[in-house]
């Protein structure tokens, strides 16, 4: 391989998983000047990213043959395990020295299991889940929390910063997903607290919008409050982040907490609220729909006064 071909090889990134998050993330890498070779089981998603300048791969094997850096953005632990470790997966075809950056939100326990198998083959793994939902995936301002070896993280950090406004190495492999679980616990509990408080205001005859304006600059103010309260006031539960995805993340949080012996009673309670929304057929709604649980309990709605 001559020096020009080698430079192009290193500048090309494999990207597997072009869903609601992966697709805009891949497009931002293209905008940042990286070449991409992409694979997904949904042909339309591949078509859209290829129209933006990516190369199409017909298989995971084809991705691994054209790059030494592969990003995966997949639904959950089983899919990541299958894509990396399964028959025809990345590890079956990757050369020693390949870097896999798993940006999926999965169990940190599974991240460590996959890392151990990769290490046997001389393949590196960084777990680098993200926070910010589809809007921040689109504008390239995701918060990225990573786990892995410092030297390997330093090599992929410029790539991550094409997709996010921050990329922080938290610790060893699995640490990124622990940070993501902590993020998701805090977000879920925050939305529940906002919902509970605003339903209380509504039932007390005080306009929730006025309460929002009064408290958002104080200690109760938060990014979650500012992002979700306007949606609640409009009754707009179109997803930025779906209820069903938050259920997945909190299940990983509960499983991890039980594994390490860290009780999470509030997380368990909010999980049951989310499960109730799923049973009510609202699993595709934004997680700000947690307020609907409280509204039904109190027989009221928190909405902007017309």
Q: What share of the chain is helix, strand, coil (3-state, %, to 5)?
A: 55, 15, 30
Distance CA 1, CA 17 (A): 29
Distance CA 202, CA 300 (A): 8
Cα–Cα nearest to 39, from 20, 61, 24, 21: 61
Distance CA 99, CA 94 (A): 9
Buried b (16+ CB within 10 A) or exposed e, 51-85: eeebbebeebeebbebbbbbbbbbebbebbbebbe
Beta-carbon neighbour count of residue 11 at 10 Å?
Answer: 12
Return the structure tokens found at 139. 């504008």
Cα–Cα nearest to 271, from 297, 298, 296, 253: 253
- Annotated catalytic residue: which of 136, 180, 228, 248? 180
Long-range Cβ pairs for the range 32-39 (8 Å, 24+): 32/162, 34/159, 34/162, 35/8, 35/11, 36/12, 37/12, 37/13, 37/62, 37/63, 37/66, 37/67, 38/14, 38/63, 39/14, 39/15, 39/63
Q: Is 66 a catalytic residue?
A: no
Catalytic residue ranges: 180
């Amino acid at each position: 391989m001559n020096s020009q071909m080698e430079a192009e090889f290193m500048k090309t990134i494999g990207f597997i998983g072009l869903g609601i998050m992966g697709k805009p993330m891949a497009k931002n890498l293209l905008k940042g000047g990286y070449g991409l070779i992409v694979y997904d089981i949904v042909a339309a998603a591949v078509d859209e990213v290829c129209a933006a300048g990516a190369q199409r791969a017909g298989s995971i094997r084809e991705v691994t043959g054209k790059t030494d850096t592969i990003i995966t953005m997949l639904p959950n632990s089983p899919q990541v395990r299958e894509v990396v470790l399964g028959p025809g997966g990345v590890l079956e075809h990757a050369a020693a020295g390949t870097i896999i950056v798993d940006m999926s939100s999965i169990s940190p326990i599974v991240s460590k299991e996959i890392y151990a198998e990769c290490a046997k083959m001389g393949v590196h793994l960084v777990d680098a889940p993200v926070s910010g939902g589809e809007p921040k995936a689109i504008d390239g301002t995701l918060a990225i929390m990573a786990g892995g070896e410092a030297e390997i993280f330093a090599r992929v950090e410029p790539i991550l910063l094409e997709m996010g406004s921050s990329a922080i190495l938290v610790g060893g492999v699995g640490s990124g997903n622990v940070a993501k679980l902590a993020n998701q616990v805090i977000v879920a509990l925050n939305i529940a607290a906002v919902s509970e408080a605003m339903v209380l205001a509504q039932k007390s005859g005080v306009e929730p919008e006025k309460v929002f304006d009064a408290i958002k600059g104080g200690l109760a103010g938060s990014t979650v409050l500012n992002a979700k309260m306007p949606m609640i006031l409009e009754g707009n539960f179109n997803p930025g982040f779906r209820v069903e995805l938050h259920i997945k993340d909190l299940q990983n949080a509960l499983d991890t907490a039980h594994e390490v012996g860290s009780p999470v009673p509030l997380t368990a309670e909010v999980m049951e609220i989310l499960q109730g929304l799923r049973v009510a057929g609202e699993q595709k709604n934004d997680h700000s729909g947690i307020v609907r649980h409280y509204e039904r309990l109190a027989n009221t709605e928190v909405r902007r006064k017309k």
